[in-house]
Structure 1
Amino acid sequence: MSLSNALFSSVTGLETSSTAISVIGENIANVNTPGFKQRRVEFSDILGQALGTGGSFSQTGSGARVARIIRVDGQGSFESSERATDMAIEGQGFFMLDDPIGGRRYTRAGLFGFDNQGYLVDKEGLNVQGFTIDPLTGTSTGQVTDIRLIPGIAAPQVSSLVDMSLNLDADPTSAPPTAPFAPATAQATSNFQQSVTLFDSLGAPHSATIFFSKTATANTWNWNAALDPSDTTTPPAAPADPYVVIGGGNLTFDTSGNLTGLTGNPVIFNFSGGAAAGQAVTFNFGPVAGVGTGEPTTQFAEQSAVNSITQDGFAPGALQAITIDTDGVMVGSFSNGETRNLSQLALAQFPNVEGMASTGNNNLLETRASGQPLVGNPRSGQFGAIRANNFEQSNVDLADQFVRLIINQRAFQANTRTVSVTNELMANVVQLGQ
């Protein structure tokens, strides 16, 4: 190897050490950058020339070069946040961002928030991508689009089903009323009553009262659904009646107290206040003759009482808060007590993550080297889970970076010394000719 070759080799050593120190400096500078992945420099030698000497084969090098700078995609630790829209991915995958100028981008930095138009965006204003939700099933449609929450009032749901489980007193001392049920004398002509709130097509509540009357026929009861006259467009039987009977039927039990017969469904309500007429409501008292769903209605020698009662309607409600589960489903909580799936985050993964190109701001681009992305739901296949109210910290290990910094500093100093020694030797060669 000539002295000039030694000099040039030392220069390549200075260059590679400088590059390594620069990368280490970038890592240290981004130790607190959410979602940042540390870089690592890999070196390779440079073949200078091959020398054949007798029966042996010798090679001399021409220094070193930077083979590549790779991104180390290890999991960063998690830091908690008070914001539900701050998210981290526990496992593989990238959040997807829509850049109207530069195309789709990908990131691990899940510091998101809503803009003034309701779009979920990152700190640069790029729209976060997710799957739309089928309003009927509450599940993902698989269609990727911008995640957006539209402020306003959620539509009400009309009541169409009442599930009621109760016991009607079979004690023979509990005699039937002396007269058939009549709205004018509802209390005197019934043995038991229970109220339930029903919602009309406008979301307005109406209190319906269900009256139960024992009949002279053994193991048979009448039930009647009634409304206050102000709650219905159906006129009362008499102007002074406190209730308007809307519908009803019979409940039949066997000698063991089990419900064996039910008539009277559905009951058609015509609510007042401008709501749609003809609202059909089915009253489910549990299995009839062993067939059906719900908790059973019984006739035992025990005081009449309701075990449970629910209905499927609700009033309109305003969105009050959102939560995001580990599947990336954004769940809205409304002022009417209802919850609803609003959207689901979409994640992307690549065959070769190291082949992605960095664009700054912790964003990455798809390249030919990375391969095409696979898009899917969190916690499905190879995709990781979503941790809301958290964000992923940098995966930079300061102790490791300081060790690497010292090693590359010493390498730089050693190459500097090589340049100095080579320079002295070349000066000596020049002096030989004087």
Structure 2
Amino acid sequence: MSFNIALSGVNAAQKDLDVTANNIANVNTVGFKESRAEFADVYANSIFANSRTQHGQGVQTVAVAQQFHQGTLMFTNNALDMAINGSGFFVMANETDTLDRTYTRAGAFKLNDQGYVVNSMGRYLQVFDANENGTPTVLALNATKPLRIPDKTGEPRATTAVNTGFNLPSNAGIMDPADFSPTDSRTYNASTAITIYDSLGEPHSLNMYFVKEADGQWQSFTYVDGNLVQQGGNDSAPIEFDASGNMTTPAAPATLTLDNITFANGAQPIANMEIRLGTVSQYASPFEVNELSQNGSTVGRLTKVDVDANGVVAATYSNGRTEKLGIVALATFPNEQGLIPDGDSQWRQSLLSGEGVGGQPNTGSYGRLNGAALEQSNTNLTSELVDLITAQRNFQANSRALEVNSTLQQTILQIR
């Protein structure tokens, strides 16, 4: 019996050494969570035995429990690196079209050859679809999809509206609109320009010229690529002000509508483009433009990717557009220690862990997401070295117990 007791002690010490060695080996593994060997004594008794004189029968390993406390954050220069500060796991998938999910705290991500965000093992980071206000459309783990970052925005968008606001000088000289020529600055009082886009994404110059024909009365001429664009069948559109400098014509909502705009490159004509007049005034101050924008865009190339604390992944493109590509999905479990290790610092759901629940970072009990950061291993090297010495001493002590048992039995066998 004593042989078995000592042998169980040797096995337990070996298990403790194995767990400690694994923790030490992964001290620099991103997202690694240390483990702890847990033991219990072995005891057997019957109703006919004297429990006061019964001894134990050794030791057994009851669990190798993972410790999911927070690791130290290390900041990097990679925008796709992510670290969870708090509860939750990143949701991963082996394929783009599978519902099989694994979970990890290792946030070292990169792009593959198809633009998907993957980890070093090629598994795909899962995200929720995002609304315009940065909230998920659906909060469910089976509704997540792989995060893909396109290197361009897609199809160009033709300009259909220009937003502008300006002040026309009330003390400007009066001119005859019949003498207006866009090539002669002496025939108009003020002008401004903006770049618009056709259906092919090609840029064009839209110029607006203003001619004061009487006190409080102006005419607006619009040209695209040097060609006059009519407004309501006329060459120009009136803009009028009252004695306080407030615009009265056109009436609110103040809009100038351009007739059909055609292009020489074969792009689709733009019908009824709106010049939306915001804050337009006529004061005794110089001509000043306080607003000028348009809603078209050309094809843009990826310039930057950002991930905020709420997990919103936003891509910025060279044409000025910013697109929300998704929200990084996090998962929590009723019993984290019930997760089954899957290697590569990843885990799988089990009956002991309970059902995973998906959520958005930085909401409720879900941790905050840090972009351009990694969570380091939570292994405390000093503690592990002390544990290593303790396990070694336990192993030696149990080995000595085996040796003593062997000596005693040898002595008994030599009795004649």
The alignment's TM-score, normalised by the length of structure 1, stands at 0.83
Q: Show structure 1 runs of 5+ residues with no match.
A: 236-243, 287-295
Q: Please state if 1:66 is matched with 2:55.
A: no
Partner residue of 1:44?
40
Partner residue of 2:238?
249
Partner residue of 1:258?
246
Using the TM superposition, give the Cα deviation of residue 22 of structure 1 relative to its aligned residue in structure 2, in angstroms. 0.8
Which deviates more, 82-91 or 29-38? 82-91
Q: Please state if 1:420 is matched with 2:403.
A: yes
Asked whether the 8 Å contact 1:36–1:362 carries over to 2, the reply is: yes
Using the TM superposition, give the Cα deviation of residue 139 of structure 1 relative to its aligned residue in structure 2, in angstroms. 6.0
Q: CA separation in 1, counterparts of 2:120 and 2:238?
A: 62
Partner residue of 2:262?
271
Asked whether the 8 Å contact 1:51–1:58 carries over to 2, the reply is: no
User: What letter corresponds to residue 170 of structure 2 in structure 1?
Assistant: A
Which deviates more, 335-344 or 244-253? 244-253
Q: Please state if 1:282 is matched with 2:274.
A: yes
Q: Please state if 1:115 is matched with 2:112.
A: yes
Partner residue of 2:318?
335
Q: CA separation in 2, counterparts of 1:222 and 1:114?
A: 54
User: What letter corresponds to residue 284 of structure 1 in structure 2?
Assistant: R
Q: CA separation in 2, counterparts of 1:102 and 1:314?
A: 36
Partner residue of 2:88?
93
C-alpha RMSD of matched pairs (Å): 3.1
1:92 partner SS: coil
Q: Percent of counterpart pairs with the same letter?
A: 31
Partner residue of 1:162?
162
C-alpha change, 1:248 and 1:197, in structure 2 (3 Å) is farther
Using the TM superposition, give the Cα deviation of residue 31 of structure 1 relative to its aligned residue in structure 2, in angstroms. 1.0
Partner residue of 2:198?
200
1:105 partner SS: strand
Asked whether the 8 Å contact 1:110–1:122 carries over to 2, the reply is: yes
Asked whether the 8 Å contact 2:41–2:59 carries over to 1, the reply is: yes
Asked whether the 8 Å contact 2:160–2:270 carries over to 1, the reply is: no
Asked whether the 8 Å contact 2:239–2:247 carries over to 1, the reply is: no
1:146-161 alignment to 2 at 5 Å? Answer: 146-152=146-152, 154-161=154-161
Asked whether the 8 Å contact 1:89–1:392 carries over to 2, the reply is: yes
Asked whether the 8 Å contact 2:177–2:219 carries over to 1, the reply is: no
Using the TM superposition, give the Cα deviation of residue 364 of structure 1 relative to its aligned residue in structure 2, in angstroms. 1.0
Correspondence for 1:128 among 125, 128, 141: 125
Which deviates more, 401-410 or 343-352? 343-352
C-alpha change, 1:67 and 1:228, in structure 2 (3 Å) is closer
Q: CA separation in 2, counterparts of 1:99 and 1:183?
A: 66
Correspondence for 1:381 among 360, 364, 372: 364
Q: Show structure 2 runs of 5+ residues with no match.
A: none
Using the TM superposition, give the Cα deviation of residue 420 of structure 1 relative to its aligned residue in structure 2, in angstroms. 3.0
User: 1:110-151 CA deviation, whole Å, 9 max, x = no partner?
Assistant: 2222222222222222222222456x7776443411222344
Q: CA separation in 2, counterparts of 1:321 and 1:425?
A: 75
User: What letter corresponds to residue 156 of structure 1 in structure 2?
Assistant: P
1:213-224 alignment to 2 at 5 Å? Answer: 213-216=211-214, 218-224=215-221
Q: CA separation in 1, counterparts of 2:181 and 2:133?
A: 41
Asked whether the 8 Å contact 1:246–1:268 carries over to 2, the reply is: no
User: 1:27-50 CA deviation, whole Å, 9 max, x = no partner?
Assistant: 111111111111101111111336
User: 1:218-261 CA deviation, whole Å, 9 max, x = no partner?
Assistant: 4333323233445x7x69xxxxxxxx9765332323x3323344
Q: CA separation in 1, counterparts of 2:236 and 2:377?
A: 67
C-alpha change, 1:73 and 1:62, in structure 2 (3 Å) is same
Partner residue of 1:398?
381
User: 1:355-398 CA deviation, whole Å, 9 max, x = no partner?
Assistant: 01112121211111111111122222222233232222111111
Using the TM superposition, give the Cα deviation of residue 23 of structure 1 relative to its aligned residue in structure 2, in angstroms. 0.5
C-alpha change, 1:51 and 1:405, in structure 2 (3 Å) is farther
1:175-190 alignment to 2 at 5 Å? Answer: 175-180=173-178, 182-183=180-181, 187-190=185-188
Q: CA separation in 2, counterparts of 1:210 and 1:226?
A: 7
C-alpha change, 1:138 and 1:315, in structure 2 (3 Å) is farther
Give the strand-richer structure, 1 or 2: 1
Q: Please state if 1:103 is matched with 2:100.
A: yes
C-alpha change, 1:311 and 1:181, in structure 2 (3 Å) is farther
1:111 partner SS: coil
Q: CA separation in 1, counterparts of 2:308 and 2:262?
A: 39
Correspondence for 1:227 among 203, 224, 228: 224
C-alpha change, 1:15 and 1:149, in structure 2 (3 Å) is same
Asked whether the 8 Å contact 2:134–2:312 carries over to 1, the reply is: no
2:9 partner SS: helix
User: What letter corresponds to residue 351 of structure 1 in structure 2?
Assistant: P
Asked whether the 8 Å contact 1:163–1:285 carries over to 2, the reply is: yes
Using the TM superposition, give the Cα deviation of residue 268 of structure 1 relative to its aligned residue in structure 2, in angstroms. 2.9
User: 1:67-116 CA deviation, whole Å, 9 max, x = no partner?
Assistant: 21100111112233333222222222212221259932111122222222
The alignment's TM-score, normalised by the length of structure 2, stands at 0.86
